Chains A and B, each alone.
Chain A
C-alpha cells in the first residue's frame, strides 16, 4: 500500500525534513501489515529492504542468542540493508500484529544518487542508529 506524508512526518528518522523531502521519501516506501509470528528479515538471507515500524512489537535476535525488542513507532528493522551488507545479520519476528513501512535498498541507493543531500540526511540518522545498536550485533552472517 502507498504511503503518505502524514504517516512519516512524526517519525524521528525524518524529523527536520521539508514537506517536499517527506513526499520524496514517502514515494519510495510501501506500507505492509504484518501478523503475529511473521518473519520480516531472516538472518543470512540476502538484504533487500529496511523496515520502519509504525505499530506492533518486534523481536530481533542474532547469533549466540543475543536479542532485543522494538516497540516504538519509528524504530528500524533490517539495518544491514543500509550498509551494503549482503545478508541480514539478525532475524526479526513480529511479536504482535503490526504495520511497517518498507524501503527497498535499490530505492535508497537511487535516493543517494538523485538527491545526495536528502540521502545524506537519512543515512546520517541511520548510521547513528547502527552505532547505538552495534553492541547487540555479532558481526558476519
Chain B
C-alpha cells in the first residue's frame, strides 16, 4: 500500500516538475493575464498562453501525453503545425476577408510591399553572421514579414524546434507595430515628405476584383511555387469573397474556420513552447533579431518609396512604404496616424492599404524563396 502511494506521488506533476516547467507555466500565466486583463491580442495570447500551460505540465515519458509523443492528443494538434496545415487555412480566411481593391487601384504600390521584404533577407544574413544555422536564420528573418502564419509555415519546415519562440516573437512584434514603426518613419522622412498628398485611388471594377485572384494566384505561384499552399488558399478565399455566389463559404472561411484554426494553432504552438527550447540564449537572439527585422523592413519600405519618387511626376507619400511589412491593417493605420500628426486633413489610410496587402503576398513569396533554397 505504501509502495503504491509512493509510486503515485512520484508520478504526480509535483514530483516530476523541473524549474523549466515552473518558469514556462509562469510565462503562460503572464500571456493569459496580458490577453484577458490587458486585452493585448487576446485571440492569440489566451490560446498560446493556455497551450504553454498544457505543454509544460510534467508528464511521465512514453505515457502518450507529451506533445512530442506520437499518438498523443497534443501531438495530433501539433501535426497541423508540423505539416503546414493550419497556416494555409488561416490564409483562406484572410483571403475571404480581404479587399484587394486598394492594391488594384494603383498596382505600382505593390513594389513597396516587395521592398519591405528586404527586412527578411537582411535579418537572414545578420542571423547567419551571428552563428545561427541557415535554416534557423531564415526562420528568424521571416519574422520581418510581420505575418504570423507565414512565420509558422516556414519555421515548421526549416527549424521546427524554434516554432514557439518565433511564433511568439512574430505575433508580439505585430502587436507592437504602433510602437516600433513611427520613430523609424519619422527618422527617414522630412516634414515636407510627410505632408505629401496623394490622388484619390480610382474605383476598381467588380470584374477586376473577380479576375485578380485567379491571375494573381497563377502569376505568384509560377514565380514562387513554394508559396502554393499559402497563396493558393489566400487567393481561393478571395475568389469565394469576390464571386458573391459562394458567399456562404466565404463567410465560413473568414469566421468559423479561421477562428477554429486560430484555437488549434495557438494551443499547438503554445504547447510546443517548452523550457529547454524557450529558456535559452537563442530565444534572446530570436527576439532581438526579430525586432531588427521589423525595423529594417519598415525602413526598406520607406526608403524605396523615396526612391520611387525620384522617377514619379505625381509623388507618393513615403510614409506609406512602411505599410509594406503587412500586419494588415495595423501598419496602414500607423501610416495614417503618423501622416495625420503632420496634417490632420491628409488621409493616407486607403493608399497605405495597397502596400499593406501586397506585403502579405510578398512575405509568402519571400518564405517560398527561402524554402526553395534551404528546404531541399
Q: How many angstroms between the C-alpha atoms of A114 and B353 in the bound complex?
A: 11
A113 adjacent to chain B (CB < 8 Å): yes
Query: Which A residues are CB-close (under 8 A) to B353?
Result: 112, 116
Q: Which residue of B lies closest to A83 (CB)?
A: B337
Main secondary structure of the interface of A (DSSP, over half): helix
Q: Are A116 and B97 in contact (CB under 8 A)?
A: no
B46 to chain A, nearest CB (A): 13
B336 adjacent to chain A (CB < 8 Å): yes
Query: Which A residues are CB-close (under 8 A) to B337?
Result: 83-84
Query: Which B residues are CB-close (under 8 A) to A106?
Result: 43
B107 adjacent to chain A (CB < 8 Å): no
B102 adjacent to chain A (CB < 8 Å): yes
Q: Are B40 and A46 in contact (CB under 8 A)?
A: yes
Q: Are B347 and A120 in contact (CB under 8 A)?
A: yes
Docked complex: B86-104 residues within 8 A CB-CB of A: 97-99, 101-102
Q: Are A112 and B329 in contact (CB under 8 A)?
A: yes
A66 adjacent to chain B (CB < 8 Å): no
Query: Which B residues are CB-close (under 8 A) to A117?
Result: 99, 101, 350
> Known interface pairs A110-B97, A114-B97. Does A124 touch B334 (Cβ–Cβ under 8 Å)?
no
Contact with B along A82-99 (1 / 0, CB 8 A): 011110000000000000
Across the interface, A114 reaches (CB within 8 A) one of B98, B344, B350, namely: B98
Q: Are B99 and A113 in contact (CB under 8 A)?
A: yes
B349 adjacent to chain A (CB < 8 Å): yes
A109 adjacent to chain B (CB < 8 Å): yes
A31 adjacent to chain B (CB < 8 Å): no
Q: Name which of A112, A116, A124, A131 has the most chain B CB atoms within 10 A of its CB.
A: A116
Docked complex: B338-357 residues within 8 A CB-CB of A: 340, 344, 347, 349-350, 353
B330 adjacent to chain A (CB < 8 Å): yes
Q: Are A112 and B97 in contact (CB under 8 A)?
A: no
B306 adjacent to chain A (CB < 8 Å): no
A4 to chain B, nearest CB (A): 20
> Known interface pairs A84-B333, A127-B344, A131-B344. Does A113 touch B38 (Cβ–Cβ under 8 Å)?
no
Across the interface, B329 reaches (CB within 8 A) one of A83, A109, A131, namely: A109
B101 to chain A, nearest CB (A): 7
Q: How many angstroms between the C-alpha atoms of A47 and B41 in the bound complex?
A: 11
Q: Are A112 and B349 in contact (CB under 8 A)?
A: yes
Q: How many angstroms between the C-alpha atoms of A32 and B11 in the bound complex?
A: 51
A71 to chain B, nearest CB (A): 25
B254 to chain A, nearest CB (A): 8
Q: Which residue of A lies closest to B102 (CB)?
A: A116
Q: How many angstroms between the C-alpha atoms of A130 and B350 in the bound complex?
A: 18
Q: Are B99 and A114 in contact (CB under 8 A)?
A: yes
Q: Are A112 and B334 in contact (CB under 8 A)?
A: no
A123 adjacent to chain B (CB < 8 Å): yes
Docked complex: A101-121 residues within 8 A CB-CB of B: 106, 109-110, 112-117, 119-120
A1 to chain B, nearest CB (A): 20
Q: How many angstroms between the C-alpha atoms of A124 and B333 in the bound complex?
A: 12
Q: Are A115 and B99 in contact (CB under 8 A)?
A: yes
Query: Which A residues are CB-close (under 8 A) to B98?
Result: 113-114
Which B residues are within 8 Å of any A CB, using their own CB?
38-40, 43, 97-99, 101-102, 177-178, 254, 328-330, 332-334, 336-337, 340, 344, 347, 349-350, 353
Taking A119-B349, A124-B347 as given, write out 12 further A-B residue pairs in contact, using a Cβ cutoff of 8 Å, ordered by the A residue number: A46-B40, A83-B333, A84-B177, A84-B178, A113-B99, A114-B97, A115-B99, A116-B350, A117-B350, A123-B333, A127-B347, A128-B344
Q: List 14 A-B contacts (CB under 8 A).
A: A84-B178, A85-B178, A86-B178, A112-B349, A112-B353, A113-B329, A115-B99, A116-B102, A120-B347, A123-B336, A127-B340, A127-B347, A128-B344, A130-B344
